[in-house]
């Protein structure tokens, strides 16, 4: 009865539920009607309803996802999932998680075309995935493995075909360039210069209007870009005299004065451009020739701003060429990256940009605006860097426009370190630091090593031939003397080597070479030996010879008496500067000896003249007294014309008077020589003090250069 009653009431229950759904639909938020008063029961029911619907949607989404994965697995594995027969053993419900992961990662549906640029990278990654699955699982489904291997083989075939065509068929690389890619005259020039045909298109064939692959498109674009750069650089022609001088650009004692005369005062731009072309920096960093020449012209204007005798564009060109000679002749360039080579050339070119012709100490003592801006620390060097990089804020002068952010960061950091190291106040600290680094040659920092090389190149003219060194010395001393004149006008004490009257040039250069230049070259040479030896062919041969000698000694034992054992060969760079340093120092010593002799002769002549004048001044009163005595003792003419004898002509008959007279005569006779001797002694003493002062000043200046 209960069951029948329940069944009889079931239609009423369904009708009740239907009415409830209808009422909810009418009172939903989608209708324009609003409900002012909502009971708690309605809120609870609505919340439960939303929760149930969300759970149903989530369940449905999971079912759809499973069915999609199952269908994908059936398509890739080839298995048919038939319903299990009654009484058969239970089977696994669907593929495992590892199988699904492997099928998704090895799927070949979304791979790029085999002739595209990304295909080679995808093929490489796919091979690594297959190896990973074979190592972890031990097997890979045959259909997946077959599809992937076919794809990889197709990609490799295309790569091999392209490479073979690039080396065998010269015309293919140019014939596949689209007509609109480059101008027609460029195409004709490419064909006539780099191929054996007179035209890009072959006779009887239509010109292809599409690239066969993206790989060929990239290759052709790079080729055209290089050729455009070659065409633009070919417009820069050198005069015959400049070409002749550039044949010696790698030499240590390059005559930069002759180059400046041949280029009408444009040595810096020609030297910098030629060196950058030799290192292929324009092509590697996509620097336009016009932009580079605009920048170099602005550099020359800045170097000529103050009309300095020494720190001008010729000095900038000389230091740039010296850095190139060190890099090239020693093999140091093999140790550097392209960014570092660019930074080295750039630092040498700008290292004295807008130099005022005075020292940093002068700026600090005179309280110039530059010293106030840079807080008395490396005043000139900070200005060189800041002003040079400020030039490149102009797009027409920005030669680092196409450099990547990481390369520019490394480039700027290295330039700042190198140019700041040219401050002479850091000299001894820099040499001491490099000596400590050489104790562990494997840990030599590139920035510190290159900074030392630039600092040495900046003071390298004493290590050049005598003609160049003497000319540079005259220009430098004139610039120092001009600073001394300014210091005298401002009431400041003379800086070392800045007084025109007391500076001994030869002695100062000897001290400069002994204490500054020669130690710098010695420590730089030792550093180059450590750095270049592992990368130089001569260094590798030296290591091999050392090993051979050691093996020979170990195999044969100690040499017998009378046999000379071979000494192991130690690699050293060619130190061409040592001979010039020694020869120049010998010449300065000869000049110093001559100058010292002339100075002593001048001092003696001045002392003698001074002593004679003082002696003459002291003898003048005695002479006047004698003249007065003679006038008194001379005969006098009276009024009547008679002559009366004076008192002095009367003979003295008293022995006391005779004794007093003789004593007075002796005193008078001895007074003058003693006085003269005393005065001469005082003059010699004063002259010796002046000589000691000059020598001490000279010594102090020599040690402070």
Q: What is the 3-state secondary structure (H, E, C) of 264-315?
A: CCCHHHHHHHHHHHHCCHHHHCCCCHHHHHHHHHHHHHHHCCCCCCCCCHHH
Please give the backbone phi and psi of residue 494, each rounded to the nearest 5 degrees, phi first.
Answer: -65, 135
Q: Does 315 count as an annotated binding residue?
A: yes
Determine contact, residues 313/268, Cβ cutoff 8 Å.
yes
Q: What is the 3-state secondary structure (H, E, C) of 618-669?
A: HHHHHHHHHHHHHHHHCCEECCCCCEECCHHHCCCCCHHHHHHHHHHHHHHH
Record the tokens describing residue 449, joined without a space. 């090593």
Catalytic-labelled residue, pool 16, 72, 311, 383: 311
Instruction: Report how far residue 104's alpha carbon sits from residue 101's, in angstroms, rounded to the nearest whole number.
Output: 5
- State how far the alpha carbon of 271 is from the alpha carbons of 152, 253, 260, in Å: 51, 14, 10
Number of neighbouring beta carbons within 10 Å of residue 290: 11
Q: Does 6 count as an annotated binding residue?
A: no
Per DSSP, 87 falls in state: T
Closest CA to 649 of 633, 638, 661, 670: 633
Q: Does 351 count as an annotated binding residue?
A: yes
Instruction: Report how far residue 551's alpha carbon sits from residue 540's, in angstroms, rounded to the nearest whole number.
Output: 17
Q: Does 313 count as an annotated binding residue?
A: yes
Query: Is 363 in the active site?
Result: no
Q: Does 509 count as an annotated binding residue?
A: yes
Beta bridge partners of 643: 637
Q: Does 314 count as an annotated binding residue?
A: yes
Record the tokens describing residue 361, joined without a space. 């100490």
Q: Is 213 exposed, middle or buried (0-12, 13-18, 19+ CB in 10 A)?
A: buried
Instruction: Report how far residue 73's alpha carbon sits from residue 103's, in angstroms, rounded to the nearest whole number.
Output: 7
Instruction: Report how far residue 364's alpha carbon sits from residue 40's, in angstroms, rounded to the nearest whole number.
Output: 85
Instruction: Report how far residue 630's alpha carbon sits from residue 623's, in angstroms, rounded to the nearest whole number.
Output: 11
- Residues annotated within a binding site for AMP: 311-315, 352, 458, 509
Q: Residues comprising the binding site?
A: 311-315, 351-352, 458, 509
> Active-site positions?
311
Residues belonging to the binding site for Zn(2+) are 315, 351-352, 458
């Amino acid at each position: 009865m209960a069951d029948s009653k329940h069944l009889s009431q079931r239609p009423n229950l369904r009708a009740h539920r239907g009415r409830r759904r209808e009422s909810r639909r009418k009172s939903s938020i989608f209708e324009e009607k609003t409900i002012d008063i909502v009971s708690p029961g309605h809120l609870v029911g609505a919340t439960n309803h939303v929760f149930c619907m969300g759970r149903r949607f989530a369940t449905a989404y999971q079912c759809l996802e499973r069915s999609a994965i199952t269908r994908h697995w059936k398509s890739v594995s080839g298995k048919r999932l038939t319903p299990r027969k009654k009484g058969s053993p239970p089977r696994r419900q669907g593929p495992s998680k590892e199988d699904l992961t492997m099928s998704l990662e090895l799927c070949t549906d979304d791979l790029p075309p085999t002739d595209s640029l990304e295909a080679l990278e995808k093929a490489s990654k796919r091979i690594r995935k297959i190896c990973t699955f074979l190592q972890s699982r031990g097997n890979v489904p045959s259909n997946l493995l077959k599809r992937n291997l076919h794809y990889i083989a197709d990609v490799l075939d295309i790569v091999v075909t392209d490479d073979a065509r690039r080396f065998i068929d010269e015309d293919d690389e140019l014939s596949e360039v689209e007509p609109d890619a480059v101008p027609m005259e460029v195409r004709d020039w490419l064909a006539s210069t780099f191929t054996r045909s007179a035209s890009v298109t072959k006779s009887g064939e239509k010109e292809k209007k599409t690239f066969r692959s993206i790989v060929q498109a990239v290759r052709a674009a790079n080729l055209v870009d290089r050729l455009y750069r070659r065409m633009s650089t070919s417009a820069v022609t050198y005069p015959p005299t400049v070409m002749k001088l550039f044949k010696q650009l790698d030499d240590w004692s390059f005559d930069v004065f002759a180059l400046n005369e041949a280029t009408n005062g444009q040595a810096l731009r020609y030297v910098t451009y030629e060196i950058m072309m030799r290192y292929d920096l324009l092509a590697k960093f996509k620097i336009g020739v016009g932009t580079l020449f605009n920048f170099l012209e602005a550099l020359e204007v800045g170097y000529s701003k103050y009309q300095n005798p020494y720190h001008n564009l010729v000095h900038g060109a000389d230091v740039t060429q010296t850095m190139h000679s060190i890099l090239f002749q020693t093999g140091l360039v093999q140790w550097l990256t392209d960014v570092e080579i660019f930074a080295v050339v750039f630092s040498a070119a700008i290292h004295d940009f807008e130099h005022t012709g005075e020292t940093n100490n002068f700026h600090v003592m005179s309280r110039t605006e530059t010293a106030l801006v840079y807080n008395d620390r490396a005043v000139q060097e900070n200005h060189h860097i800041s002003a040079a990089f400020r030039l490149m804020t102009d797009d027409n002068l920005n030669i680092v426009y196409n450099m990547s952010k990481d390369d520019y960061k490394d480039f700027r950091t290295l330039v700042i370190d190198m140019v700041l190291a040219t401050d002479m106040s850091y000299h001894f600290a820099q040499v001491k630091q490099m000596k400590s680094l050489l104790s562990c040659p494997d840990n030599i920092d590139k920035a510190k090593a290159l900074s030392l090389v630039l600092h040495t190149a900046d003071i390298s003219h004493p290590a050049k031939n005598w003609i160049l060194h003497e000319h540079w010395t005259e220009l430098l001393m004139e610039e120092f003397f001009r600073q001394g004149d300014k210091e005298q006008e401002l009431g400041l004490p003379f800086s070392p080597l800045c007084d025109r009257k007391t500076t001994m040039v030869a002695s100062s250069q000897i001290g400069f070479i002994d204490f500054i230049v020669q130690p710098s070259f010695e420590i730089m040479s030792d550093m180059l030996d450590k750095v270049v030896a592992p990368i130089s062919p001569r260094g590798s041969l030296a290591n091999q010879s050392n090993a051979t000698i050691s093996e020979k000694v170990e195999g044969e034992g100690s040499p017998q008496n009378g046999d000379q054992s071979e000494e192991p060969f130690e690699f050293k760079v060619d130190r061409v500067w040592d001979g010039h340093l020694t020869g120049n120092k010998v010449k300065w010593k000869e000049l110093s000896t001559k100058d010292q002799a002339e100075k002593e002769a001048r001092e003696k002549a001045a002392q003698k003249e001074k002593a004679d004048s003082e002696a003459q001044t002291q003898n003048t009163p005695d002479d006047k007294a004698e003249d007065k005595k003679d006038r008194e003792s001379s005969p006098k003419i009276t009024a009547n014309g008679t002559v009366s004898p004076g008192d002095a002509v009367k003979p003295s008959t008293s022995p006391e008077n005779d004794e007093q007279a003789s004593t007075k005569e002796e005193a008078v006779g001895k007074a003058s020589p003693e006085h003269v001797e005393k005065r001469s002694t005082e003059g010699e003493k004063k002259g010796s003090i002046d000589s000691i002062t000059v020598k001490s000043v000279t010594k102090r200046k020599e040690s402070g250069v």
